[in-house]
Amino acid sequence: MISLLMPTINRSDFIIKYLNYLKENGFQGQVLIGDSSGHEHFCATKNFVKDFNCKFEIKQYSHPDMYPYQCINHMSKDINCPYSMFIPDDDILIPNTLKRCVSFLEANPDYSGVGGVAIACNIPFDDYNKINSVWRYSVRELDGETATDRVYDLMRNYSVVAHSLARTEQFKKRFPAHADNYDMAIGNELLPCAVLAAQGKVKMLNDLFVIRQIHQRRILFSTIFDRILQPHWATSTTFAIEYLAGIVAEIDSISYDEVYPVVKEAWFKYLFQGFEKSNKVKKSFWRNPDFRSAIKSISGSREIVRWLRSVNFPFFSKDDFMMPALLSPSSPYHKDFMPVYEAITKQLVITQ
């Protein structure tokens, strides 16, 4: 029913935990693993999959030196389910909610994606079987009536709407083939999100959908400023705007020449706000002299600064999404949260 496309690099432990979790929680469908790992991690996953007994299909691909968007483009030809999703190996989905998402898409043809409540959890650098804290990860809906409106809405108030289930025929169009030298952030996230917005509305159910693990081994995008200094950034951006404009023009039944400047302006809005946000964060936080003085006065300050820079977390979180609440049976998310909590916190034991 559902194909999960899972790029990975040197995190066989995450993959093995994830596959065990999917088996234990009744996932049905297909898992395609685009593996860019070195020999040790690739073989660890390969040996596990070879003897792993489950009710869903698993395919592992050798994709050395490929970015996630390249892995997905290569694997997409083997998708055999009507619904698909790109999911990193450290973002754990809730199979029961995926079934509700399928039902929603079947009943709502004007929607191109559906997700739900997302929670982030901080994994300490010295113990990947522990969760330090949790908080809600904000993902917004899109309800504009036209592709033009939705793309403009997304780009001026950006959210990673690609954390959602999609129809396979629409999903494939979000990962077109690019030249090898292409901006990773555009190919992995920004263009897929923008194309999804163009293709239809986006719904977020009030059900737990995904648990995102925030940890030291994550591969993070460079800052916007660092990215635009790369020689391939301009060609990547030009390709993305032109590709997106073509899709918007087709969906809204308007000319490419009419829609192109609108899409270009929307892209500019995203970039401008990215620069503005980055500047505000640096000025108000890392470059604040009082903050720096306070940190320097603390023993082990370098380790603290390194940890703060490695995680993204809000300073305030609603009580409903703090650990004590989620561990309580009274929480509406408790039933779906606990299998993920157990999958993360238990020691990795490779059994079938």
Residue 85 lies in a domain: yes
Out of 89, 108, 133, pick the residue that ends a domain. 89
Are the CB atoms for 116 and 105 separated by under 8 Å? no
DSSP per residue, 281-332: HIIIIIT-HHHHHHHHTSTTHHHHHHHHHH----S---GGGSHHHHTSTTST
Q: Which residues pair with 214 in a beta bridge?
A: 122
Residue with tokens 């990773």: 184
Does residue 180 sit within a domain? Answer: yes
Q: How many CB atoms are located within 10 Å of the residue 342 CB?
A: 11
Domain count for the chain: 2
Contact status, residue 1 vs residue 83, Cβ threshold 8 Å: yes
The residue among 266 and 304 whose pLDDT is bigger is 266
Instruction: Determine phi and psi for 149, rounding to 5 degrees.
Output: -65, -40
Looking at the structure, do residues 181 and 284 belong to the same domain, yes or no? yes
CATH (domain of 81): 3.90.550.10
CA 182, CA 180: separation in Å to the nearest integer? 6
Q: Based on the domain organization, do 25 and 155 belong to the same domain?
A: no
- Say if CB 82 and CB 21 are below 8 A apart: no
Q: Which of 89, 109, 140 is the last residue of a domain?
A: 89
Task: Tell which of 57, 74, 89 closes a domain.
Answer: 89
Whether residues 149 and 16 share a domain: the answer is no
Beta-bridge partner residues of 4: 31, 85
Provide the residue range defining the domain that includes 36. 1-89
User: 60 and 174 in one domain?
Assistant: no
Structure-token match 């996630």, residue found? 68
pLDDT in tens, 170-190: 999 999 988 677 899 999 999
Which SS3 state, helix, strand or coil, does residue 107 take?
helix
Are 339 and 328 in the same domain? yes
Alpha helices per DSSP H over 86-232? 95-107, 147-156, 168-172, 184-185, 191-199, 224-228
Amino acid identity of residue 241, one-letter, is I
Q: Are residues 99 and 9 in the same domain?
A: no
**Predicted local distance difference test score (pLDDT) of residue 293:** 57
Tell me what the pLDDT averaged over the chain comes to.
89
Over residues 253-266, mean pLDDT: 97
Verify that 21 and 104 share a domain, yes or no. no
Q: Are residues 96 and 197 in the same domain?
A: yes
Find tokens 């043809």 and name the residue.
109
Is the distance from CB of 334 to CB of 328 less than 8 angstroms?
Answer: yes
Check residue 228 and give its pLDDT.
86
> Do residues 62 and 191 share a domain?
no
pLDDT > 90: percent of the chain:
75
> How far apart (Å, rounded) are the C-alpha atoms in residues 101 and 99?
5
My answer on whether 70 and 108 are in the same domain is: no
Other Cβ atoms within 10 Å of 20 Cβ, number: 20
Are 24 and 121 found together in one domain? Answer: no
Question: Does 352 fall in a domain?
Answer: no
Pair 97, 39 in one domain: no
Which of 223, 216, 214, 260 has the alpha carbon at shortest distance from 238? 260
Domain assignment of residue 351, yes or no: no
